[in-house]
Chain A
Amino acid sequence: MSRASLVLLAAVGAFLYAGAVAVILTGDAEAAGPLLLVAIFAGICFVVTGVIATARRPENRTGPLMLAVGYLWSLGALQESDSSLWFTLGIVLGQLAFGPFAHLLLSFPTGFLERRSDRLLVIATWLLVSLGPLAIVLVTPEPVSGCDDCPENAFLVWENESLGSAIELVFAALAIAIAATAAVVLARRYRAASPPQRRVLAPVVGTSVVALLLLVVANVADSVSESGGVVFGLLAILAIGLIPVAFLLGLLRTRLARGAVANVVVAIGRGTPLRDALADALGDPSLSLAYWSERQGSWVDDDGRPLADPIADGRRQAAFVEHEGNRVAALIHDASLADQPGLIEGVSAAVSLQLHGEHVRAELRSQLNLLDTAVNTAPSLLSVVDPEGRIRNFNRAVELATGLDDPEQIRGEYFWNVFIDPSEREDMRARFGAAAPEFAPAVYENLFTNARGEQLVIQWSSAPLVEDGRVVAIVAGGLDVTERKRREEELQRERDSTDTLVQTIPTLIVVTDDSGVILLHEGRAGVNRAFRDTLGWTDEDVGRRPVAELVAPEDAAAMREAVRSAGAGRSSHELESRWRHADGRLLLIAWSATRIPDPSDAHRTLVLLSGTDVTDRKRREQELQWERDFANTLAEIVPSLLVVVEEDATITHDGVNRAFEDTLGLPEPRTAGMSFLDLLDPEDEYLARMAIGSAANGVPASERESRWRRPNGEPVFVAWTATPIPGLRGKPLVLISGVDVTMRRRQEEEIRASRARIVQAADDARRRLERNLHDGAQQRLVSLSLSLRLAEAKLPSDPEQAAAILLAAREELTHALDELRELARGIHPAVLTERGLAAALEGVVARTPLPVELELPEHRLSGPVEAAAYYVVSEALTNVAKYAGASSAHVRVRQDDELGLVTVDVIDDGSGGADPRGGSGLRGLADRIAALDGTLDVDSPPGEGTRVRATIPVRHAVPSL
């Protein structure tokens, strides 16, 4: 704001109030008085303070608002004019000054109405002070009550006393309400303000609230008593006039505060702390100081501790202090102090040197703090030892390491008493003495047992601290490497045990790089003892050699591929390769390859080949396989029926042999899972189940015969046993081993039938003999007996007839004798026993009615054989004579000693076509020959004669029938 403008503003005010005074003086002087004087004074105060405020705070609206109040206030003087028009205008416009006045109060100190309620209140005030008096003058003939000499109301349009009174009442009520509200708002604002704000607010708000309350009271009093209204009105206007004075006082206070700069300097000189001195000077007890730390790049407090950033916020503002162009500090003060930048600047400038000093100290303190923290939080042990060997200083890590509870036990103590085990103390002391006076930098490792009994390994490094060419202390830094040592030792032990393991296990181990070349490290190849022992190679033989060269050439490619693949991270399956022994043999080794990390180089991988010599195992497997094959073949070719069943008689898979399949007509695939019991005749099932159950429990069952059935129902007689055999997975199995005895049974039945026939034949022969005796010789002898008795009776009386009877009797007797002789020969030819087969057969031939050629052995045969041959020839020749119609026959009996056989042939040239089964004679002969283990064959093709041949073995003993 230019000086000219300010002068102009002041001039306008001067003109207005000059005019006002002129109006008052020209008017009725009686009406003037103290009230007018006070009012003029108040108005001028507003104008003057308005100009000053505008000059000092051109950006703030407070100044213009004060001017507005001052200017408008002067219009009220028109009421004192004698002219009716000016008088009436004075009444209408006389209240307008309260519009900007309300604005001024409610917007103090910023000049802005920040709240909506404030703005509404200001608008209401404006409406009330502009429209209210106008409404009153339009209907009230005497707008100023009790003023008889006042000019006429120039604006009266409709005289209405009661309406005028009502409007006046409403105007007064609204004015009271607004004034009271404004007072309350200001009071509240004051309460909510910070102390510096209050200092600014206090005079203005105080006078304003008093003035407003007085206005209210004056309005109320006016309606009660005229004189009271005048008194309170006077007081109110006086109070209003004091408002700009109050503001002026505030300004004066600010100006006076500049004097505080000097006080600050004096206070500091007296030793008052800097902050306290500044807080006093600036009137802000909450003031705090911040120092810029270049090292930390942040603001720190007095003690060098970092402050939160930003250091200022809405309520607290920072004023920065520079020293020689560098920012060194900040005053953090209440936001209201920002209204007085000059004050802060002045004060800051006065103390900038001190602030700089404080800044440096804060920086140092900050560094020390950092160092202290670093030293005490570092894991390293730090200690300072004087040239005598006493510990002078140490950090927290040292305290912890010594295991001593009280740090004072360490301070001043010889370091060897703290860090060196008793047995080595003297030695250490000597070495320390020897290092004097240079105490050259050294590094050493130290194992000791601390106060808590913990064994620690500390790695120390020390260096002398030299001042003026003299060693004043030795600084030693230590690192607790106990844990690291322990891990190293553990790792070593682990490596040792792994190595022992690798060297002692029977598995062959080869370690190669990822290209399959066997490692060689310090003369030791990457192979273990099992490898060397099994394959006979030495470390020199195999070190740095591709492992694939150690196998037969045909297996090398597969090995290279497996190793390459393992190197790429895909472990191989187990392979079997022929590995070369140093002596040239090939051993079959089952092995696999896996990638392993290289312990000495994390970026490299190795391949581990581990294998087992399976040469012997393979051979044993082959042997076992051969035995298995042999057993299978045996089982397949033996004539016994073999069935392997489970405990519940279920036939196992592949559990029958060929003999079983062939005999029962059941091929293997159909038997698996089938129950063995289903093969049996239901009658035999129970006992078979018991036998299998007993065998499954380990008790072999004795042989039994059962009827097994083919699928077509045909029975097969089998003599079988059940034997427990070891099964897989502990499941008991039972081997049923059987022999097909169907044929034997049939033979036995035939033998039984043959025996029965022989018995029958003998019975028949005896019956025939009895019959022949009875019918033949016996009848003749009975007749003879009767004849003799008759002859005896006739003899005395008729001797001739008696003689004739005796003659007949003699003939009868001759016949009887013939018949008996014939009968005896039929029973057994005596000639056979006494004179042999040849003589007997000659008799037979003699009785045969056709020519027979005899061809007989020269020596005698055994009795039964001769008898059999005799009866064969005799019966056959009888048949020839009876049925064959032959012209001749040929009988041949031969003994073949080589074959041990006697053959009897009876051949004829008859019609043939004989039925060998027909006739009991032939069957009897067959039984007789069978009893000698021989056979009887009849070959009789029709028209070609008949040949009957008996073949009798002579080697065997003849079984007794």
Chain B
Amino acid sequence: MPPTVLIVDDHPSFRASARAILEAEGFVVIGEAIDGAGAILAAGELHPDVLLLDVQLPDMTGFDVCEAVCRMNGTAPAVVLVSSREAADYGDLIDGSGACGFVAKHELSGEAVAALLP
């Protein structure tokens, strides 16, 4: 069964591009959210296998969302953080966030995401 994905980003063009790329590589995109609050709600309802989470959201940071989602018992998705910046720009925030990995936006592919999943 192909893994289900919830895409969280405030830019519509990135959400569209990401859906096209991930679906093309076998992922099932089950939902999209445009901010942190929507992401947490959607994750609770949809129980995706993977949460593709932009670090810079309008209402909170991706790290905050990651922390909240990871506290979900048993149904916590694997979080993959994305950003148009380099991973080095965030220092050790990514390692301490509970996410299973980080992918720069312009390097996003189904293969890069699958490689990070546990």
Contacts and interface: CB of A to CB of B under 8 A. Distances in A.
A769 to B, nearest CB: 15
B24 interface: yes
A396 to B, nearest CB: 143
B84 A782 contact: yes
Given A779-B84, A785-B106, A793 B17 contact: no
B21 A779 contact: no
Contacts of A787: 17
B24 A779 contact: no
Q: Is the interface of A mostly helix, strand, loop or mixed?
A: helix
A775 B56 CA distance: 10
Interface string B84-113: 110000000000000000000110110000
B99 to A, nearest CB: 19
Contact of B13 (A774, A779, A789): A779
A778 B85 CA distance: 10
Interface in B13-72: 13-14, 16-18, 20-21, 24, 56
Interface in A771-802: 774-775, 778-783, 785-787, 789-790, 793-794
Contacts of B13: 779-780, 783, 812
Contacts of B21: 786, 789-790
B14 A786 contact: yes
A778 B13 CA distance: 11
Nearest to A779: B11
Contacts of A790: 17, 20-21, 24
B18 A786 contact: yes
Contacts of B108: 786
Contacts of B84: 774, 778-779, 782
Given A774-B84, A778-B84, A779-B11, A786 B24 contact: no
B14 A789 contact: no
Interface in A32-91: none
A608 B24 CA distance: 139
A794 B17 CA distance: 13
A624 to B, nearest CB: 81
Contacts of A779: 11, 13-14, 84
Contact of A793 (B11, B14, B18, B24): B24
Interface residues of A, number: 17
Contacts of B20: 786, 790, 805
Q: Is the interface of B mostly helix, strand, loop or mixed?
A: helix
A789 B17 CA distance: 10
Interface in A793-832: 793-794, 805, 812
A783 B11 contact: yes
A453 B11 CA distance: 148
Contacts of B11: 775, 779, 783
Contacts of A782: 14, 17, 84, 105-106
Contacts of B16: 783
A793 B13 CA distance: 19
| Max count, chain B CB within 10 A of own CB: residue among A774, A785, A786, A812 | A786
A771 to B, nearest CB: 9
A878 to B, nearest CB: 25
Contacts of A786: 14, 17-18, 20-21, 105-106, 108
A781 B11 CA distance: 12
A767 to B, nearest CB: 13
A529 to B, nearest CB: 109
B31 to A, nearest CB: 19
Contacts of B85: 774
A812 B12 CA distance: 12
A778 B83 CA distance: 11
B19 to A, nearest CB: 10
Contact of B109 (A780, A781, A783, A789): A789
Contacts of B24: 790, 793-794
A343 B105 CA distance: 193
Nearest to A771: B56
| Max count, chain B CB within 10 A of own CB: residue among A780, A783, A794 | A783
Contacts of B109: 789
B84 to A, nearest CB: 5
A244 B32 CA distance: 204
A202 to B, nearest CB: 175
Contacts of B18: 786
Contacts of A775: 11
A275 to B, nearest CB: 167
A779 B108 CA distance: 13
Nearest to B14: A783
A153 to B, nearest CB: 194
Nearest to A809: B17
A122 to B, nearest CB: 172
A782 B13 CA distance: 9
Contacts of A793: 24
A786 B15 CA distance: 11
A789 B110 CA distance: 12
9 contacts: A774-B84, A774-B85, A779-B84, A782-B14, A782-B106, A786-B21, A786-B106, A789-B109, A793-B24
Given A779-B13, A783-B13, A785-B106, 6 more contacts: A779-B11, A779-B14, A782-B84, A787-B17, A794-B24, A805-B20
Enumerate the 9 nearest inter-chain pairs by beta-carbon distance, A residue then B residue, closest first: A786-B17, A783-B13, A785-B106, A782-B105, A779-B11, A783-B17, A782-B106, A782-B84, A778-B84
Interface of A: 774-775, 778-783, 785-787, 789-790, 793-794, 805, 812
